Structure 1
């Protein structure tokens, strides 16, 4: 019995020592921070937490490491963002060897609360708040519980990563969590009760004073300079992260309005290229629109390989429908569906879909991007039809620049073949597909031919010549 008690006591002491390691490491960093000539690196975050923010934080920590910075400050004012992006930043901050400080310069809600909680120290501006980390979709609706469960576990784990710190109570030393995991969980779950703080009916959001009282904030500061003074860093050199031109350009291209415009260019370019084959310029516009649409999303980590391949597959299917299997059938429908699906899923944070419970589909997450793509595609098609009828019909100035509109009349001497070869009304067999041009065989001779009214006619089909103009036999299918 004595040995059993000794073993239990030993393991309890070992556990207490283990959970206090993280707290001791952070305390050591904070104590080592104030020294002469300190290098401080500042990263402002003033937008939603997105994959672009992950790139910024990664570059910031790399530059801070290269500068041998003793402290990295995340100056944040954000209402949340993408879940997996916040998790990536959280992991980087927890693993970073130097002191990290979160300066909540107004708001750290949802994903922002998770990131702030990962920093070694938290300072808040008077009037700032932290919390309200319930996972919601783009419309603000609460996501299914599996999302909430994942977020609760991340908040608890992040709080626990800071370990325990000793406190004296009634002459005894008691080890308490530096950041209470239960409070961190209550920021996500309204049903989590915390004595004297939350009654289990609403999620927790802490003001600056409340955060200090509950151990989620080291102090209040109105500026970075005041924060550094509170942290004991008086002699320092401050470096501030500046986004590169590429970051700004990608951010510009991912503007929702421009994304819709790129979809219009893609649809319009494809439509015009099919209406005027061989011109080339509409195809270039469509390709440029696709590159500007997918490239920034791919760089942001939103577009995956399969989404781009799905879009390209849709284009190939439409081309096959037009030039190989004339008529609007299965390939054309599948091609349109594949294009729309590829464009839409490129706008969706597919990382969220990994946490969808079996049998549940976050319709609100998927429906928005699909509506954007469908509406933009519809607008693009209507504009293309209007533009084509307005400027590429008749004798408009633009039509005269790209299409030969002058009439080469026989009276003016433009006669290259006999005006009438007596073939009108004759029957023949197509020796090549008419797409719409090709060849037919009449009486054992091959003639240049085209489908009447630009109709597509397959190879080996019986046809009747409807007219003979300028050396071309215009044909229609023979009725059965």
Structure 2
């Protein structure tokens, strides 16, 4: 009897095991992969958003990031790392050679890091476009951000005999050393150097779970035997949208908008500077409007500002409240379209987003005037547009005057007062009738006169 019971239990266990294996084959784990293999920017951020949305729709169990970048813009790197930290789906990263600067920040946010032999991670100091180190206020923000990212993974319990200690899974001080050269960590980094790990160094210091040669090897190390790999394919539209929403491109569009208006006002009637300005405005607002950032009222504010500036130039004399109001409205419309506010409610707008919007619009406006003014002088004086606008002047000494200059030749001539000059009147000189002004006193009708001088189209005479 006991043998029958044991046999039944073994048979049941084997059947359940076989069913479990068949179920895993029929329903393999869905692993969703997307790439970041370029400079971190608006396009990377848009691709990341779309990838996470698609992974959630497909009910993916794992997201695998294939990363190879030298860094990029901190504002977008921060958005990507926040997306990863808040993801309900585990996110793992395979560093294929480089995870520098912003790439290091993104990698540290992931649940696990795998690196190709010979790869690097670190060097997260904030620099400008020229590669020069930014002031400490920027470094301070980056130090705090990368520390917080490392801390988000919590601590592990280490058991030593009867003692237990808690240690960080990713040491925040090591993360900070990737930004600040003043950090000293014994046997890791000396002061005066920015920290960058090789693959083996990252494994040794808890910043890499293992090395791998390929995506397949990473998946094997994660423990998935039966899986379905789905890869994100960016659309043409998402790439175009990323390009159009790039802060640098926004600055260029603002330059064209302001510069085009300036060119058109310098030489009204040409047409194409105004057309270029209009196209730039459409390219500026269209993707922001589709994204839900630029609202109708923000675009209307911009248009009203343009109308007020035109009225100030062509209708209202001088430069006063109309022109100033127009400039303020144009600047406001361009700026608010870049931030996700709800009718002047900025409570949910991060300070860094507002600061970035102000910097983009201010820089674009400043550069437009710095470039447009000297460029317009060159184009309309000696350049290809020189023949479009009138450049010559009609000088008086060359005979260009608005009145008849013939009376000028009468200086010294004598004549008769046709009417009484009190002090102006009519005189006859060489049998021709002219207007004249008595220079001294009054001259009676019929008295002889002599022309003393000619000024402002008028003869001046005295009594002979």
Assess same fold via TM > 0.5: yes
C-alpha RMSD of matched pairs (Å): 4.3
Listed one character per residue, the Cα deviations across residues 63-109 of structure 1 (whole Å, up to 9, x for unaligned) are: 11111111101111222233332222222212212221011112212
What is the CA distance between 1:328 and its match in structure 2? 6.4
The answer for the alignment partner of 2:54 in structure 1 is: 63
Instruction: Give 1:45-444 correspondences, 5 Å limit.
Output: 45-169=36-160, 172-253=163-244, 260=252, 263-264=255-256, 267-268=259-260, 271-272=263-264, 275-276=267-268, 283-296=274-287, 312=303, 315-327=306-318, 352=352, 369=364, 372-378=367-373, 381-382=376-377, 385=380, 386-390=383-387
Q: Tell which deviates more after alignment, 259-268 or 199-208.
A: 259-268
Structure 2: gaps spanning 5 or more residues: 1-23, 340-349, 392-402, 405-464
Listed one character per residue, the Cα deviations across residues 280-306 of structure 1 (whole Å, up to 9, x for unaligned) are: 776444312222244457778999999
Cα distance change of structure 1 residues 190 and 305 upon mapping to structure 2, 3 Å threshold: farther
TM-score, normalising length: structure 2:
0.63
Aligned partners of 1:39, 1:53: CA distance in 2, in Å?
23
| Matched-pair contact (CA < 8 Å) for 1:317–1:334 | yes
TM-score, normalising length: structure 1:
0.61
| Matched-pair contact (CA < 8 Å) for 1:268–1:384 | no
| Matched-pair contact (CA < 8 Å) for 2:71–2:101 | yes
Listed one character per residue, the Cα deviations across residues 391-443 of structure 1 (whole Å, up to 9, x for unaligned) are: 5779xxxxxxxxxxxxxxxxxxxxxxxxxxxxx99xxxxxxxxxxxxxxxxxx
Cα distance change of structure 1 residues 83 and 262 upon mapping to structure 2, 3 Å threshold: closer
Listed one character per residue, the Cα deviations across residues 179-212 of structure 1 (whole Å, up to 9, x for unaligned) are: 1111112112211211210123222111111000
| Matched-pair contact (CA < 8 Å) for 1:253–1:259 | no
| Matched-pair contact (CA < 8 Å) for 2:42–2:245 | no
Aligned partners of 1:127, 1:294: CA distance in 2, in Å?
44
Q: Tell which deviates more after alignment, 250-259 or 47-56.
A: 250-259
Aligned partners of 1:273, 1:285: CA distance in 2, in Å?
14
| Matched-pair contact (CA < 8 Å) for 1:164–1:178 | yes
Cα distance change of structure 1 residues 271 and 341 upon mapping to structure 2, 3 Å threshold: farther
Q: Which is higher, the Rg of structure 1 or of structure 2?
A: 2
Number of equivalences: 355
Listed one character per residue, the Cα deviations across residues 217-271 of structure 1 (whole Å, up to 9, x for unaligned) are: 0111222122112222232221111222222223444676896477447634664
Aligned partners of 2:336, 2:369: CA distance in 1, in Å?
12
| Matched-pair contact (CA < 8 Å) for 1:99–1:120 | yes
Aligned partners of 2:251, 2:156: CA distance in 1, in Å?
50
SS of the residue aligned with 2:49?
Answer: helix
Aligned partners of 2:91, 2:116: CA distance in 1, in Å?
17
Structure 1: gaps spanning 5 or more residues: 1-34, 357-361, 395-423, 426-480
Cα distance change of structure 1 residues 305 and 104 upon mapping to structure 2, 3 Å threshold: farther
SS of the residue aligned with 1:175?
Answer: strand
Cα distance change of structure 1 residues 302 and 84 upon mapping to structure 2, 3 Å threshold: farther
Aligned partners of 2:293, 2:188: CA distance in 1, in Å?
38
Listed one character per residue, the Cα deviations across residues 157-187 of structure 1 (whole Å, up to 9, x for unaligned) are: 2212212223343564433211111111211
| Matched-pair contact (CA < 8 Å) for 2:101–2:126 | yes
| Matched-pair contact (CA < 8 Å) for 2:142–2:179 | yes
